[in-house]
Amino acid sequence: MGRGAGKAELQKARMRLSLQEHLWAFFQERVAIPSEEQALARRAALDICAELRVFLHAKLPDMPLREMYLSGSLYDDLQVVTADHAQLMVPMILEKNLWSPIPGEDTIMNLPGFWLVRRENLEYFPRGSSYWDRCMVGGYLSPKSILEVFEKLVAGSINWPAIGSVLDYIIRPVVPSETLMLEVQYETDRRLYVDFLPLLVMEDGVSLIAKPHRLAAERHENLWRQSFRVAETAKLRALDQEDAGCRCACLKVIKAVCKLNPALARLNASQLTNAILLLSEQEGDWTQEALGDRFMQLLRALVGHLEAGRLPCIFNLKVNLFCELTPQEIDELGYTLYCALSDPESLLRT
Ligand code: GDP
């Protein structure tokens, strides 16, 4: 049998499958990443992390940081399609008595899920008492200014070509980029993007990351983004463990659908994870055989959230995870998903 005929046969066989079977086939063929590919990507990320640690310790021994670490879906087995990105977390140490977090809803911006970090006690501890005072703008710790400091260092003063040739990678900072990002080409056709993410862990466990508000108006510039990622992924995994469920598989399928369909690219992991967690509160059956039904329900739920223009975060219902989408983007996403309700398999033909 020729190749074309074989393909046609395969296609015919596929048509006979139910949505449920299609989803699992899509999962195997497109979503899941071979473990060797994941290992190579993790290795490259680790090499870069090690270089940066050495560099920062040597160049700026007094910068108050905790040890940097790698994180993201590549480390939680939630990455899909290609192993192509990771976050390098850079935990900053702040003096408790000099900086205090203010929730976004208590500011004039009234933006739950974002925070300001205010400098306190300037009269007793004047400017310069805290290392991070150099990144203070208008009395607040500015994530933008922190990213600029790191950008100067990481993009400006590290000899990446030299390090790259030692490691046998091609490394370059990505400019312009919303945050600070390195592109690592670790094989001729394999690229990894490492996102440099400064992080504050406040006393009550609130994690804030220096990732700007997407619709960055000037008044948003000092805002820190609260991260719920650790709690979201832990919850999803725990629920699956309790009932041998398919929530993580469902998340990976919808993530892949969004990654492969440009019209859905604006939906991110956090929104999709929360939509599944909300659905888990209503729906008990997440057995492997229920993937098709749950996937359809998820699509309907997303359409509903988009119609309402609101997707609450399950760890703080005041947070609207759609708040960084424009009304037009919300309409377009809603329309694409609404059309898919009558032909969900169209989402898998990418
Ligand atoms: P994926 O990128 O779609 O595979 O999803 P991830 O679960 O890896 O999420 C990565 C995204 O979440 C990035 O855009 C990060 O900026 C953002 N993010 C928010 N909080 C965190 C955090 O605590 N850790 C990491 N790694 N990423 C976070």
Task: Take atom 15 of ligand 1 and give the residue whose Cα is closest.
Answer: 87
What is the number of the ligand 1 atom nearest to the C-alpha of 227? 20
Please, are residues 270 and 78 in contact by the beta-carbon 8 Å criterion? no
Distance 72 CA to ligand 1 centre (A): 5
What is the number of the ligand 1 atom nearest to the C-alpha of 80? 4
Residue 210 tokens read as 């220096």
pTM: 0.93
Beta-carbon neighbour count of residue 39 at 10 Å? 11
pLDDT attached to residue 188: 87
Cα→Cα distances 195→134, 147, 177, 184, 323, Å:
23, 11, 10, 11, 22
Of the residues 199, 211, 229, which should be mutated to test ligand 1's pocket, given the most ligand atoms within 8 Å of the CB? 229
What is the CB < 6 Å shell around ligand 1? 71-73, 78-79, 85, 87, 195, 197, 207, 209, 211, 227, 229-230, 255, 269
Of the residues 89, 197, 232, which should be mutated to test ligand 1's pocket, given the most ligand atoms within 8 Å of the CB? 197
The pairing of beta strand 136-137 with beta strand 140-141:
antiparallel
Residue 312 tokens read as 């609450």
| ipTM for this model | 0.98
Of the residues 196, 227, 276, 277, which should be mutated to test ligand 1's pocket, given the most ligand atoms within 8 Å of the CB? 227
Of the residues 76, 87, 180, which should be mutated to test ligand 1's pocket, given the most ligand atoms within 8 Å of the CB? 87
pLDDT beneath 50: ranges in the chain? 1
Task: Take atom 20 of ligand 1 and give the residue whose Cα is closest.
Answer: 227
- Dihedral sign of CA atoms 256, 257, 262, 265 in order: negative
What is the number of the ligand 1 atom nearest to the C-alpha of 79? 4
Please, are residues 330 and 306 in contact by the beta-carbon 8 Å criterion? yes
pLDDT attached to residue 8: 73
Distance 15 CA to ligand 1 centre (A): 35
Distance 248 CA to ligand 1 centre (A): 15
What is the number of the ligand 1 atom nearest to the C-alpha of 259? 3
Distance 114 CA to ligand 1 centre (A): 16
Tally of residues, the chain: 350
User: Three-class SS string for the chain?
Assistant: CCHHHHHHHHHHHHHCCCHHHHHHHHHHHHHCCCHHHHHHHHHHHHHHHHHHHHHHHHHCCCCCECCCEEECHHHCCCCCCCCCEEEEEEEECCCCCCEEEEEHHHCCCCCCCEEEEEECCCCCCCCCCCHHHHHEECCEECHHHHHHHHHHHHHHHCCHHHHHHHHCCEEEEECCCCCEEEEEEEECCEEEEEEEEEEEECCCCCEEECCCCCCCCHHHCCCEEECCHHHHHHHHHHHHHHHCCCHHHHHHHHHHHHHHCHHHCCCCHHHHHHHHHHHHHHCCCCCHHHHHHHHHHHHHHHHHHHHHCCCEECCEEEEECCCCCCHHHHHHHHHHHHHHHHCHHHHHCC
Residue 103, beta-bridge partner list: 115
Distance 87 CA to ligand 1 centre (A): 7
Please, are residues 102 and 118 in contact by the beta-carbon 8 Å criterion? yes
What is the number of the ligand 1 atom nearest to the C-alpha of 73? 8
What is the number of the ligand 1 atom nearest to the C-alpha of 209? 20
Task: Take atom 28 of ligand 1 and give the residue whose Cα is closest.
Answer: 229
Distance 65 CA to ligand 1 centre (A): 20
Give the integer Cα–Cα distance in Å for 67 and 152.
20
Residue 115 φ/ψ, nearest 5 degrees: -135, 155
pLDDT attached to residue 203: 87
Distance 269 CA to ligand 1 centre (A): 7
Residue 102 φ/ψ, nearest 5 degrees: -125, 120
